[in-house]
A and B are shown apart, each in its own frame.
Chain A
Amino acid sequence: MASTTTPLIQVKNLHLYFGAFHALKDVSVDFRAGELIGLVGDNGAGKTTLIRVLCGIHTPSSGEVWFDGRKVEKFHPKLAIDEGIETIQQSVGLCDNLSIARNFYLGREPVKRILGIPILDFALMREKSTKVIREFGLRDNVSADDEVERLSGGERQSVKIGRAVEFKNRVVIMDEPTNHLSVREREHVNELAVSLKEQGLLVIYITHDIFQVHKLADRIVIMENGEKIEDASTHTMSAEALEEVIRQGGRKVTKKEPV
Protein backbone atom coordinates (compact mmCIF):
# COMPACT_ATOMS: atom_id res chain seq x y z
CA MET A 1 0.00 0.00 0.00
CA ALA A 2 1.28 3.42 -0.88
CA SER A 3 0.79 4.66 2.64
CA THR A 4 4.04 6.59 2.86
CA THR A 5 3.29 9.07 0.08
CA THR A 6 1.46 12.33 0.73
CA PRO A 7 -2.26 11.89 0.38
CA LEU A 8 -3.86 12.88 -2.92
CA ILE A 9 -6.93 14.09 -1.09
CA GLN A 10 -6.80 15.26 2.51
CA VAL A 11 -9.96 16.12 4.36
CA LYS A 12 -9.35 18.04 7.59
CA ASN A 13 -11.97 18.69 10.28
CA LEU A 14 -14.77 19.01 7.79
CA HIS A 15 -18.16 20.26 8.98
CA LEU A 16 -21.20 20.71 6.80
CA TYR A 17 -24.56 22.09 7.85
CA PHE A 18 -27.75 22.06 5.82
CA GLY A 19 -29.60 24.74 7.74
CA ALA A 20 -29.81 23.37 11.26
CA PHE A 21 -28.94 19.85 10.17
CA HIS A 22 -25.35 18.87 10.95
CA ALA A 23 -24.60 16.56 8.02
CA LEU A 24 -20.84 16.13 8.45
CA LYS A 25 -19.28 16.33 11.90
CA ASP A 26 -15.56 16.95 12.10
CA VAL A 27 -14.59 14.46 9.40
CA SER A 28 -10.86 14.00 8.73
CA VAL A 29 -9.62 11.39 6.31
CA ASP A 30 -6.72 10.87 3.90
CA PHE A 31 -6.97 9.28 0.47
CA ARG A 32 -3.85 8.19 -1.39
CA ALA A 33 -3.25 7.49 -5.07
CA GLY A 34 -3.18 3.78 -5.85
CA GLU A 35 -5.55 2.96 -3.02
CA LEU A 36 -8.98 1.41 -3.19
CA ILE A 37 -10.96 2.65 -0.25
CA GLY A 38 -14.29 1.26 0.79
CA LEU A 39 -16.57 3.95 2.18
CA VAL A 40 -19.23 2.15 4.16
CA GLY A 41 -22.21 3.17 6.25
CA ASP A 42 -25.96 3.03 6.48
CA ASN A 43 -28.34 5.32 4.65
CA GLY A 44 -27.94 8.85 5.94
CA ALA A 45 -24.52 8.14 7.42
CA GLY A 46 -22.96 10.95 5.39
CA LYS A 47 -21.07 8.90 2.78
CA THR A 48 -22.67 10.53 -0.19
CA THR A 49 -22.53 13.97 1.43
CA LEU A 50 -18.79 13.60 1.94
CA ILE A 51 -18.36 12.52 -1.66
CA ARG A 52 -20.43 15.44 -2.86
CA VAL A 53 -18.00 17.78 -1.17
CA LEU A 54 -15.11 16.04 -2.93
CA CYS A 55 -16.74 16.38 -6.33
CA GLY A 56 -17.64 20.00 -5.79
CA ILE A 57 -21.40 19.81 -5.34
CA HIS A 58 -21.43 20.97 -1.70
CA THR A 59 -19.21 23.62 -0.16
CA PRO A 60 -18.16 22.71 3.40
CA SER A 61 -19.29 24.97 6.26
CA SER A 62 -15.86 24.73 7.88
CA GLY A 63 -12.73 22.63 7.61
CA GLU A 64 -10.37 22.12 4.70
CA VAL A 65 -9.95 19.92 1.68
CA TRP A 66 -6.51 19.55 0.15
CA PHE A 67 -6.06 18.12 -3.31
CA ASP A 68 -2.60 17.15 -4.53
CA GLY A 69 -0.85 19.41 -2.04
CA ARG A 70 -3.06 22.44 -2.71
CA LYS A 71 -5.89 23.73 -0.55
CA VAL A 72 -9.20 23.71 -2.39
CA GLU A 73 -10.66 27.22 -2.28
CA LYS A 74 -13.65 26.93 -4.57
CA PHE A 75 -16.11 24.06 -4.89
CA HIS A 76 -17.79 23.50 -8.22
CA PRO A 77 -18.52 20.26 -10.14
CA LYS A 78 -16.79 21.58 -13.25
CA LEU A 79 -13.62 22.33 -11.29
CA ALA A 80 -13.58 18.84 -9.81
CA ILE A 81 -13.98 17.31 -13.27
CA ASP A 82 -11.17 19.46 -14.61
CA GLU A 83 -8.95 18.24 -11.75
CA GLY A 84 -9.65 14.66 -12.79
CA ILE A 85 -12.16 13.64 -10.14
CA GLU A 86 -14.77 11.41 -11.70
CA THR A 87 -17.89 10.18 -9.93
CA ILE A 88 -19.63 7.09 -11.19
CA GLN A 89 -23.18 6.91 -9.97
CA GLN A 90 -25.77 4.29 -10.66
CA SER A 91 -28.50 6.46 -12.14
CA VAL A 92 -26.52 9.43 -13.41
CA GLY A 93 -23.80 9.99 -15.98
CA LEU A 94 -25.24 8.76 -19.26
CA CYS A 95 -28.02 10.28 -21.35
CA ASP A 96 -30.30 7.58 -22.74
CA ASN A 97 -31.19 9.61 -25.80
CA LEU A 98 -27.62 9.98 -27.02
CA SER A 99 -25.27 7.52 -28.67
CA ILE A 100 -22.43 5.95 -26.73
CA ALA A 101 -19.93 8.07 -28.66
CA ARG A 102 -21.81 11.28 -27.88
CA ASN A 103 -22.11 10.35 -24.21
CA PHE A 104 -18.49 9.42 -24.02
CA TYR A 105 -17.34 12.90 -24.93
CA LEU A 106 -20.21 14.88 -23.39
CA GLY A 107 -18.83 18.09 -21.91
CA ARG A 108 -15.46 17.78 -23.65
CA GLU A 109 -16.39 17.04 -27.24
CA PRO A 110 -13.51 17.03 -29.72
CA VAL A 111 -14.06 19.34 -32.69
CA LYS A 112 -12.40 20.01 -35.99
CA ARG A 113 -12.84 23.19 -37.96
CA ILE A 114 -14.80 23.04 -41.17
CA LEU A 115 -14.83 26.48 -42.85
CA GLY A 116 -13.73 27.87 -39.50
CA ILE A 117 -16.76 26.43 -37.69
CA PRO A 118 -16.01 23.97 -34.88
CA ILE A 119 -17.88 20.80 -35.86
CA LEU A 120 -17.87 17.65 -33.72
CA ASP A 121 -15.14 15.25 -34.77
CA PHE A 122 -17.42 12.23 -35.19
CA ALA A 123 -14.71 9.96 -36.59
CA LEU A 124 -12.50 10.43 -33.54
CA MET A 125 -15.44 10.12 -31.13
CA ARG A 126 -16.53 6.87 -32.76
CA GLU A 127 -13.07 5.38 -33.00
CA LYS A 128 -12.02 6.05 -29.40
CA SER A 129 -15.32 5.03 -27.83
CA THR A 130 -15.47 1.86 -29.94
CA LYS A 131 -12.03 0.89 -28.67
CA VAL A 132 -13.13 1.40 -25.07
CA ILE A 133 -16.44 -0.47 -25.30
CA ARG A 134 -14.63 -3.45 -26.82
CA GLU A 135 -12.01 -3.36 -24.08
CA PHE A 136 -14.62 -3.10 -21.37
CA GLY A 137 -16.57 -6.06 -22.60
CA LEU A 138 -19.77 -4.77 -24.16
CA ARG A 139 -21.72 -7.10 -26.41
CA ASP A 140 -20.23 -7.43 -29.89
CA ASN A 141 -23.38 -6.23 -31.58
CA VAL A 142 -23.36 -2.92 -29.71
CA SER A 143 -21.77 -0.12 -31.69
CA ALA A 144 -20.63 3.31 -30.57
CA ASP A 145 -23.48 4.83 -32.60
CA ASP A 146 -26.13 2.99 -30.62
CA GLU A 147 -28.10 4.93 -28.09
CA VAL A 148 -27.31 4.22 -24.46
CA GLU A 149 -30.88 3.10 -23.80
CA ARG A 150 -29.96 -0.18 -25.53
CA LEU A 151 -27.39 -1.05 -22.86
CA SER A 152 -27.82 -3.22 -19.80
CA GLY A 153 -27.02 -1.90 -16.33
CA GLY A 154 -23.58 -3.51 -16.29
CA GLU A 155 -22.74 -2.19 -19.74
CA ARG A 156 -23.65 1.30 -18.63
CA GLN A 157 -21.31 1.04 -15.68
CA SER A 158 -18.59 -0.30 -17.99
CA VAL A 159 -18.99 2.69 -20.31
CA LYS A 160 -18.70 5.10 -17.37
CA ILE A 161 -15.64 3.36 -15.99
CA GLY A 162 -14.07 3.14 -19.43
CA ARG A 163 -14.65 6.84 -19.84
CA ALA A 164 -13.00 7.57 -16.50
CA VAL A 165 -9.91 5.61 -17.57
CA GLU A 166 -9.77 7.07 -21.05
CA PHE A 167 -9.75 10.62 -19.76
CA LYS A 168 -6.84 9.84 -17.45
CA ASN A 169 -8.69 10.68 -14.29
CA ARG A 170 -6.84 10.57 -11.01
CA VAL A 171 -9.74 9.88 -8.71
CA VAL A 172 -12.68 7.62 -9.46
CA ILE A 173 -15.52 7.67 -6.97
CA MET A 174 -17.94 4.78 -7.40
CA ASP A 175 -21.28 5.33 -5.69
CA GLU A 176 -23.00 1.97 -5.17
CA PRO A 177 -21.64 0.78 -8.53
CA THR A 178 -23.11 -2.70 -8.42
CA ASN A 179 -26.69 -2.06 -7.35
CA HIS A 180 -29.23 -3.81 -9.56
CA LEU A 181 -26.54 -5.71 -11.44
CA SER A 182 -26.46 -9.42 -12.17
CA VAL A 183 -23.84 -11.53 -10.41
CA ARG A 184 -21.57 -11.70 -13.42
CA GLU A 185 -21.89 -8.00 -14.15
CA ARG A 186 -21.10 -7.23 -10.52
CA GLU A 187 -17.90 -9.25 -10.72
CA HIS A 188 -16.95 -7.49 -13.93
CA VAL A 189 -17.44 -4.04 -12.39
CA ASN A 190 -15.45 -5.05 -9.29
CA GLU A 191 -12.61 -6.30 -11.46
CA LEU A 192 -12.60 -2.99 -13.25
CA ALA A 193 -12.43 -1.13 -9.92
CA VAL A 194 -9.37 -3.12 -8.88
CA SER A 195 -7.70 -2.59 -12.26
CA LEU A 196 -8.19 1.19 -11.91
CA LYS A 197 -6.39 1.08 -8.60
CA GLU A 198 -3.58 -0.99 -10.10
CA GLN A 199 -3.13 1.71 -12.73
CA GLY A 200 -2.35 4.12 -9.89
CA LEU A 201 -5.72 5.82 -9.55
CA LEU A 202 -7.40 6.56 -6.26
CA VAL A 203 -10.64 4.61 -6.12
CA ILE A 204 -13.30 5.40 -3.52
CA TYR A 205 -15.91 2.69 -3.48
CA ILE A 206 -19.15 3.50 -1.68
CA THR A 207 -21.38 0.65 -0.65
CA HIS A 208 -23.61 -0.86 2.05
CA ASP A 209 -22.04 -4.22 1.54
CA ILE A 210 -19.00 -4.51 3.78
CA PHE A 211 -18.31 -8.11 2.73
CA GLN A 212 -18.18 -7.30 -0.94
CA VAL A 213 -15.90 -4.30 -0.62
CA HIS A 214 -13.64 -5.93 1.98
CA LYS A 215 -12.43 -8.32 -0.71
CA LEU A 216 -11.41 -5.45 -2.97
CA ALA A 217 -10.33 -2.63 -0.71
CA ASP A 218 -7.06 -1.70 0.96
CA ARG A 219 -8.78 0.35 3.58
CA ILE A 220 -12.30 0.71 4.90
CA VAL A 221 -13.75 3.97 6.20
CA ILE A 222 -17.00 3.65 8.11
CA MET A 223 -19.35 6.55 8.65
CA GLU A 224 -22.30 6.92 10.96
CA ASN A 225 -24.48 9.97 11.63
CA GLY A 226 -22.12 12.25 9.76
CA GLU A 227 -19.05 11.10 11.67
CA LYS A 228 -16.16 8.87 10.73
CA ILE A 229 -16.29 6.03 13.24
CA GLU A 230 -13.68 3.70 11.77
CA ASP A 231 -10.72 3.89 9.40
CA ALA A 232 -8.85 0.61 9.20
CA SER A 233 -6.74 -1.43 6.85
CA THR A 234 -8.46 -4.55 5.53
CA HIS A 235 -5.33 -6.44 6.55
CA THR A 236 -5.77 -5.66 10.21
CA MET A 237 -9.56 -5.90 10.44
CA SER A 238 -11.76 -8.67 9.13
CA ALA A 239 -15.04 -8.00 7.42
CA GLU A 240 -16.86 -9.53 10.40
CA ALA A 241 -15.14 -7.18 12.82
CA LEU A 242 -16.00 -4.20 10.64
CA GLU A 243 -19.58 -5.33 10.40
CA GLU A 244 -19.69 -5.40 14.15
CA VAL A 245 -18.45 -1.79 14.20
CA ILE A 246 -21.32 -0.80 11.94
CA ARG A 247 -23.79 -2.69 14.09
CA GLN A 248 -22.54 -0.97 17.24
CA GLY A 249 -22.17 2.28 15.28
CA GLY A 250 -22.88 5.61 16.92
CA ARG A 251 -22.68 4.16 20.41
CA LYS A 252 -19.03 5.05 20.63
CA VAL A 253 -18.15 1.73 22.25
CA THR A 254 -16.26 0.59 19.21
CA LYS A 255 -13.11 2.62 19.53
CA LYS A 256 -12.00 0.73 22.61
CA GLU A 257 -11.39 -2.60 21.04
CA PRO A 258 -10.31 -2.51 17.40
CA VAL A 259 -10.18 -6.29 17.21
Chain B
Amino acid sequence: MKQFVRSQSFGAVIGVTVMLIAFTVIDFSGWWNRSTLANVVQFSAILGLVAMGQALVIMTKEIDLSVGSVYGLTGVAFITLEPKLGVPGSTLAALAIAAAIGAFQGLVVVRGKLPSMIVTLAGLFAARGVIYVWTGGTVQNFSEAARNNWLTGLLGGQIFGIEAAIFWMVGLCLVLNVLLWGTRYGNRLLATGGSLDSAESRGVRTDHVKILAFMLCSLLAGFAGILTLADRPQTHVTLGDLMELEAIASAVIGGCLLTGGRGSLVGAVLGAFIIVSFRYELIALGAPSSWFTTFVGIVLIVAVIFNQYLARRAGHSV
Protein backbone atom coordinates (compact mmCIF):
# COMPACT_ATOMS: atom_id res chain seq x y z
CA MET B 1 0.00 0.00 0.00
CA LYS B 2 2.80 2.37 0.90
CA GLN B 3 4.54 1.48 -2.36
CA PHE B 4 1.36 2.25 -4.27
CA VAL B 5 0.87 5.65 -2.63
CA ARG B 6 4.45 6.56 -3.46
CA SER B 7 4.17 5.35 -7.06
CA GLN B 8 3.86 7.86 -9.88
CA SER B 9 0.46 6.59 -11.00
CA PHE B 10 -1.22 7.24 -7.64
CA GLY B 11 -2.38 10.71 -8.68
CA ALA B 12 -3.94 9.41 -11.87
CA VAL B 13 -5.76 6.65 -10.00
CA ILE B 14 -7.29 9.26 -7.68
CA GLY B 15 -8.06 11.44 -10.70
CA VAL B 16 -9.92 8.66 -12.48
CA THR B 17 -11.85 7.76 -9.35
CA VAL B 18 -12.92 11.34 -8.69
CA MET B 19 -13.82 11.83 -12.34
CA LEU B 20 -15.95 8.68 -12.55
CA ILE B 21 -17.82 9.64 -9.38
CA ALA B 22 -18.32 13.21 -10.59
CA PHE B 23 -19.58 12.15 -14.02
CA THR B 24 -21.96 9.67 -12.46
CA VAL B 25 -23.33 12.34 -10.10
CA ILE B 26 -23.84 15.03 -12.75
CA ASP B 27 -25.20 12.58 -15.28
CA PHE B 28 -28.87 13.54 -15.38
CA SER B 29 -29.69 12.20 -18.82
CA GLY B 30 -28.50 8.65 -18.21
CA TRP B 31 -25.90 9.18 -20.86
CA TRP B 32 -22.92 8.01 -18.82
CA ASN B 33 -23.74 4.35 -19.22
CA ARG B 34 -22.10 1.17 -20.24
CA SER B 35 -22.13 1.60 -23.99
CA THR B 36 -20.70 5.10 -23.82
CA LEU B 37 -18.05 3.85 -21.47
CA ALA B 38 -17.16 1.09 -23.94
CA ASN B 39 -16.62 3.73 -26.62
CA VAL B 40 -14.59 5.90 -24.30
CA VAL B 41 -12.46 2.93 -23.33
CA GLN B 42 -11.75 2.11 -26.97
CA PHE B 43 -10.54 5.62 -27.81
CA SER B 44 -8.62 5.67 -24.54
CA ALA B 45 -6.87 2.48 -25.62
CA ILE B 46 -5.70 4.16 -28.84
CA LEU B 47 -4.56 7.33 -27.11
CA GLY B 48 -3.15 5.19 -24.27
CA LEU B 49 -0.82 3.37 -26.67
CA VAL B 50 0.54 6.68 -27.94
CA ALA B 51 0.79 8.00 -24.38
CA MET B 52 2.79 4.98 -23.19
CA GLY B 53 5.38 5.59 -25.90
CA GLN B 54 5.46 9.24 -24.96
CA ALA B 55 5.89 8.27 -21.31
CA LEU B 56 8.95 6.15 -22.13
CA VAL B 57 10.55 9.07 -23.96
CA ILE B 58 9.67 11.54 -21.19
CA MET B 59 11.22 9.16 -18.65
CA THR B 60 14.53 9.48 -20.53
CA LYS B 61 14.16 13.26 -20.09
CA GLU B 62 13.36 13.88 -23.73
CA ILE B 63 10.09 14.59 -25.50
CA ASP B 64 8.55 13.46 -28.77
CA LEU B 65 6.33 16.03 -30.49
CA SER B 66 6.08 14.02 -33.70
CA VAL B 67 3.78 11.24 -32.47
CA GLY B 68 0.60 12.76 -33.97
CA SER B 69 2.16 12.95 -37.41
CA VAL B 70 3.76 9.50 -37.05
CA TYR B 71 0.36 8.13 -36.02
CA GLY B 72 -1.14 9.70 -39.14
CA LEU B 73 1.65 8.73 -41.52
CA THR B 74 1.75 5.12 -40.34
CA GLY B 75 -2.03 4.83 -40.62
CA VAL B 76 -2.01 6.34 -44.09
CA ALA B 77 0.85 4.06 -45.14
CA PHE B 78 -1.09 1.06 -43.84
CA ILE B 79 -4.06 1.96 -46.10
CA THR B 80 -2.09 3.19 -49.09
CA LEU B 81 0.31 0.26 -49.29
CA GLU B 82 -2.39 -2.37 -48.83
CA PRO B 83 -3.28 -2.81 -52.55
CA LYS B 84 0.36 -3.65 -53.31
CA LEU B 85 1.41 -5.57 -50.20
CA GLY B 86 -1.76 -7.04 -48.76
CA VAL B 87 -2.86 -6.40 -45.16
CA PRO B 88 -0.02 -8.24 -43.34
CA GLY B 89 2.58 -6.77 -45.68
CA SER B 90 1.32 -3.23 -45.36
CA THR B 91 1.09 -3.61 -41.56
CA LEU B 92 4.75 -4.57 -41.39
CA ALA B 93 5.80 -1.93 -43.90
CA ALA B 94 3.89 0.79 -42.04
CA LEU B 95 5.47 -0.27 -38.72
CA ALA B 96 8.89 -0.27 -40.35
CA ILE B 97 8.30 3.32 -41.48
CA ALA B 98 7.34 4.28 -37.91
CA ALA B 99 10.39 2.57 -36.43
CA ALA B 100 12.65 4.25 -38.97
CA ILE B 101 11.27 7.70 -38.13
CA GLY B 102 11.81 7.04 -34.43
CA ALA B 103 15.32 5.73 -34.95
CA PHE B 104 16.25 8.66 -37.16
CA GLN B 105 14.92 11.25 -34.72
CA GLY B 106 16.67 9.53 -31.84
CA LEU B 107 19.90 9.42 -33.79
CA VAL B 108 19.71 13.13 -34.59
CA VAL B 109 18.99 13.96 -30.94
CA VAL B 110 21.89 11.96 -29.46
CA ARG B 111 24.49 12.35 -32.20
CA GLY B 112 23.72 15.98 -32.89
CA LYS B 113 23.31 16.71 -29.16
CA LEU B 114 20.18 18.65 -30.09
CA PRO B 115 17.09 19.30 -27.98
CA SER B 116 14.48 16.66 -28.76
CA MET B 117 11.79 19.33 -28.68
CA ILE B 118 13.25 20.91 -31.82
CA VAL B 119 14.15 17.68 -33.60
CA THR B 120 10.73 16.13 -33.12
CA LEU B 121 8.99 19.41 -33.95
CA ALA B 122 10.76 19.17 -37.29
CA GLY B 123 9.61 15.54 -37.41
CA LEU B 124 6.03 16.66 -36.77
CA PHE B 125 6.09 18.96 -39.80
CA ALA B 126 8.11 16.65 -42.02
CA ALA B 127 5.97 13.55 -41.44
CA ARG B 128 2.77 15.55 -41.94
CA GLY B 129 4.21 16.98 -45.15
CA VAL B 130 5.00 13.49 -46.41
CA ILE B 131 1.34 12.54 -45.88
CA TYR B 132 0.20 15.47 -48.06
CA VAL B 133 2.74 14.80 -50.80
CA TRP B 134 2.22 11.06 -50.84
CA THR B 135 -1.57 11.08 -50.90
CA GLY B 136 -2.10 14.24 -52.90
CA GLY B 137 -4.62 15.28 -50.26
CA THR B 138 -6.99 12.34 -50.34
CA VAL B 139 -6.57 8.92 -48.77
CA GLN B 140 -8.28 6.02 -50.51
CA ASN B 141 -10.42 3.48 -48.70
CA PHE B 142 -9.86 -0.19 -47.99
CA SER B 143 -11.21 -2.66 -50.53
CA GLU B 144 -13.89 -5.11 -49.47
CA ALA B 145 -11.32 -7.94 -49.42
CA ALA B 146 -8.97 -5.96 -47.21
CA ARG B 147 -11.78 -5.18 -44.79
CA ASN B 148 -12.52 -8.88 -44.45
CA ASN B 149 -8.89 -9.91 -44.05
CA TRP B 150 -8.22 -11.90 -40.86
CA LEU B 151 -5.55 -9.44 -39.74
CA THR B 152 -7.84 -6.45 -40.23
CA GLY B 153 -10.28 -8.24 -37.95
CA LEU B 154 -7.61 -8.99 -35.40
CA LEU B 155 -6.44 -5.36 -35.37
CA GLY B 156 -9.69 -3.49 -35.72
CA GLY B 157 -12.53 -5.93 -35.15
CA GLN B 158 -14.08 -7.17 -31.96
CA ILE B 159 -12.89 -10.02 -29.78
CA PHE B 160 -15.57 -11.50 -27.47
CA GLY B 161 -17.65 -8.44 -28.25
CA ILE B 162 -14.95 -6.04 -27.07
CA GLU B 163 -12.96 -3.79 -29.40
CA ALA B 164 -9.65 -5.41 -30.33
CA ALA B 165 -7.72 -2.20 -29.59
CA ILE B 166 -8.41 -2.70 -25.88
CA PHE B 167 -6.77 -6.14 -25.89
CA TRP B 168 -3.79 -4.79 -27.77
CA MET B 169 -3.41 -1.92 -25.33
CA VAL B 170 -3.67 -4.13 -22.23
CA GLY B 171 -1.25 -6.69 -23.70
CA LEU B 172 1.30 -4.09 -24.71
CA CYS B 173 0.92 -2.32 -21.37
CA LEU B 174 1.88 -5.58 -19.63
CA VAL B 175 4.84 -6.18 -21.93
CA LEU B 176 6.10 -2.61 -21.60
CA ASN B 177 5.76 -2.68 -17.82
CA VAL B 178 7.93 -5.79 -17.69
CA LEU B 179 10.38 -4.08 -20.04
CA LEU B 180 10.52 -0.91 -17.96
CA TRP B 181 10.64 -2.35 -14.45
CA GLY B 182 12.04 -5.83 -14.96
CA THR B 183 14.80 -5.70 -17.55
CA ARG B 184 18.28 -4.29 -17.95
CA TYR B 185 17.02 -1.92 -20.62
CA GLY B 186 14.35 -0.55 -18.27
CA ASN B 187 16.80 -0.01 -15.45
CA ARG B 188 19.12 1.86 -17.80
CA LEU B 189 16.27 3.89 -19.25
CA LEU B 190 15.23 5.08 -15.79
CA ALA B 191 18.86 5.80 -14.94
CA THR B 192 19.37 7.76 -18.16
CA GLY B 193 16.42 9.99 -17.32
CA GLY B 194 17.30 10.24 -13.64
CA SER B 195 20.94 11.23 -14.06
CA LEU B 196 22.58 11.03 -17.47
CA ASP B 197 26.10 11.56 -16.12
CA SER B 198 25.73 8.89 -13.46
CA ALA B 199 24.35 6.39 -15.96
CA GLU B 200 27.25 7.05 -18.31
CA SER B 201 29.75 6.74 -15.48
CA ARG B 202 28.46 3.19 -15.00
CA GLY B 203 29.08 2.40 -18.64
CA VAL B 204 25.45 2.73 -19.75
CA ARG B 205 25.19 3.60 -23.43
CA THR B 206 22.65 6.37 -22.92
CA ASP B 207 22.67 7.13 -26.65
CA HIS B 208 21.43 3.62 -27.43
CA VAL B 209 18.90 3.82 -24.62
CA LYS B 210 17.41 7.03 -26.03
CA ILE B 211 17.38 5.91 -29.65
CA LEU B 212 15.50 2.75 -28.65
CA ALA B 213 13.04 4.81 -26.58
CA PHE B 214 12.31 7.05 -29.57
CA MET B 215 11.86 3.95 -31.73
CA LEU B 216 9.43 2.38 -29.27
CA CYS B 217 7.52 5.65 -29.03
CA SER B 218 7.14 5.94 -32.83
CA LEU B 219 6.25 2.25 -33.12
CA LEU B 220 3.50 2.59 -30.52
CA ALA B 221 2.14 5.74 -32.16
CA GLY B 222 2.24 4.05 -35.55
CA PHE B 223 0.59 0.91 -34.24
CA ALA B 224 -2.17 3.01 -32.70
CA GLY B 225 -2.70 4.58 -36.14
CA ILE B 226 -2.97 1.14 -37.72
CA LEU B 227 -5.47 -0.02 -35.07
CA THR B 228 -7.60 3.08 -35.68
CA LEU B 229 -7.73 2.55 -39.43
CA ALA B 230 -8.23 -1.20 -39.23
CA ASP B 231 -11.35 -0.37 -37.23
CA ARG B 232 -12.56 2.44 -39.53
CA PRO B 233 -10.63 2.18 -42.78
CA GLN B 234 -11.37 5.60 -44.16
CA THR B 235 -9.47 8.64 -43.19
CA HIS B 236 -8.21 12.05 -44.01
CA VAL B 237 -4.78 13.59 -44.27
CA THR B 238 -5.27 15.35 -40.93
CA LEU B 239 -5.36 12.02 -39.07
CA GLY B 240 -3.62 12.46 -35.72
CA ASP B 241 -3.46 16.26 -35.77
CA LEU B 242 -2.79 17.58 -32.24
CA MET B 243 -2.59 14.03 -30.92
CA GLU B 244 0.98 14.70 -29.72
CA LEU B 245 -0.35 17.25 -27.27
CA GLU B 246 -3.03 14.89 -25.97
CA ALA B 247 -0.40 12.15 -25.61
CA ILE B 248 1.95 14.41 -23.67
CA ALA B 249 -0.95 15.60 -21.52
CA SER B 250 -1.92 11.97 -20.83
CA ALA B 251 1.60 11.06 -19.79
CA VAL B 252 1.90 14.11 -17.56
CA ILE B 253 -1.53 13.61 -15.98
CA GLY B 254 -0.43 10.00 -15.45
CA GLY B 255 2.48 11.12 -13.32
CA CYS B 256 5.42 11.37 -15.73
CA LEU B 257 7.75 14.12 -14.59
CA LEU B 258 9.34 16.15 -17.38
CA THR B 259 12.47 16.20 -15.22
CA GLY B 260 12.94 12.58 -16.26
CA GLY B 261 13.43 9.27 -14.51
CA ARG B 262 10.00 9.07 -12.96
CA GLY B 263 6.75 8.06 -14.52
CA SER B 264 4.18 5.36 -14.98
CA LEU B 265 2.87 3.57 -18.03
CA VAL B 266 -0.36 2.62 -16.28
CA GLY B 267 -0.65 6.27 -15.28
CA ALA B 268 -0.25 7.36 -18.91
CA VAL B 269 -3.10 5.06 -19.92
CA LEU B 270 -5.27 6.42 -17.10
CA GLY B 271 -4.36 9.93 -18.21
CA ALA B 272 -5.57 9.07 -21.70
CA PHE B 273 -8.77 7.72 -20.18
CA ILE B 274 -9.33 10.99 -18.32
CA ILE B 275 -8.82 13.10 -21.44
CA VAL B 276 -11.08 11.00 -23.65
CA SER B 277 -13.76 10.85 -20.96
CA PHE B 278 -13.80 14.62 -20.73
CA ARG B 279 -14.30 14.93 -24.45
CA TYR B 280 -17.31 12.61 -24.33
CA GLU B 281 -18.79 14.09 -21.19
CA LEU B 282 -18.58 17.63 -22.54
CA ILE B 283 -20.37 16.57 -25.71
CA ALA B 284 -23.02 14.90 -23.57
CA LEU B 285 -23.45 18.03 -21.47
CA GLY B 286 -24.12 19.92 -24.67
CA ALA B 287 -21.03 22.10 -24.43
CA PRO B 288 -19.64 23.26 -27.77
CA SER B 289 -16.93 20.83 -28.82
CA SER B 290 -14.37 23.62 -28.88
CA TRP B 291 -14.56 23.79 -25.08
CA PHE B 292 -12.88 20.43 -24.90
CA THR B 293 -9.44 21.89 -25.57
CA THR B 294 -9.86 24.39 -22.78
CA PHE B 295 -10.87 21.65 -20.41
CA VAL B 296 -7.83 19.56 -21.31
CA GLY B 297 -5.73 22.56 -20.37
CA ILE B 298 -7.45 22.93 -17.02
CA VAL B 299 -7.23 19.21 -16.24
CA LEU B 300 -3.56 19.27 -17.17
CA ILE B 301 -2.74 22.11 -14.80
CA VAL B 302 -4.74 20.61 -11.94
CA ALA B 303 -3.07 17.23 -12.51
CA VAL B 304 0.42 18.69 -12.58
CA ILE B 305 -0.14 20.62 -9.36
CA PHE B 306 -1.59 17.52 -7.71
CA ASN B 307 1.19 15.23 -8.95
CA GLN B 308 3.87 17.68 -7.80
CA TYR B 309 2.24 17.80 -4.40
CA LEU B 310 2.23 14.00 -4.20
CA ALA B 311 5.83 13.79 -5.38
CA ARG B 312 7.00 16.28 -2.75
CA ARG B 313 5.10 14.41 -0.06
CA ALA B 314 6.86 11.23 -1.17
CA GLY B 315 10.12 13.08 -0.64
CA HIS B 316 11.17 13.34 -4.30
CA SER B 317 13.14 16.39 -5.27
CA VAL B 318 10.99 17.93 -7.98
Contacts and interface: CB of A to CB of B under 8 A. Distances in A.
Contacts of A150: 315
A95 B203 contact: no
A92 B201 contact: yes
B140 to A, nearest CB: 41
Contacts, number: 82
A87 B203 CA distance: 11
Interface in A40-80: 77-78
Interface stretch (A102-110, A181-189, A240-248): A102-110
Interface string B259-299: 00110000000000000000000000000000000000000
Contact of A81 (B184, B202, B315): B202
B20 interface: no
Interface in B293-318: 315-317
B153 interface: no
A107 B262 contact: no
B149 interface: no
A98 B194 contact: yes
Chain A interface size range: 20 to 34
Nearest to B202: A107
Contacts of B197: 91-92
B203 A98 contact: no
Contacts of A78: 203, 205
Interface string A84-122: 000101011111111000110111110100000111100
Contact of A107 (B183, B190, B204): B204
A117 B178 CA distance: 10
Interface in B178-200: 178, 182-184, 187-188, 190-191, 193-195, 197-200
Contact of A77 (B184, B191, B200, B317): B200
A138 B316 CA distance: 20
A96 B184 CA distance: 18
B315 A95 contact: no
A118 B315 contact: no
Interface in B133-186: 178, 182-184
Interface of A: 77-78, 81-82, 87, 89, 91-98, 102-103, 105-109, 111, 117-120, 147, 149-150
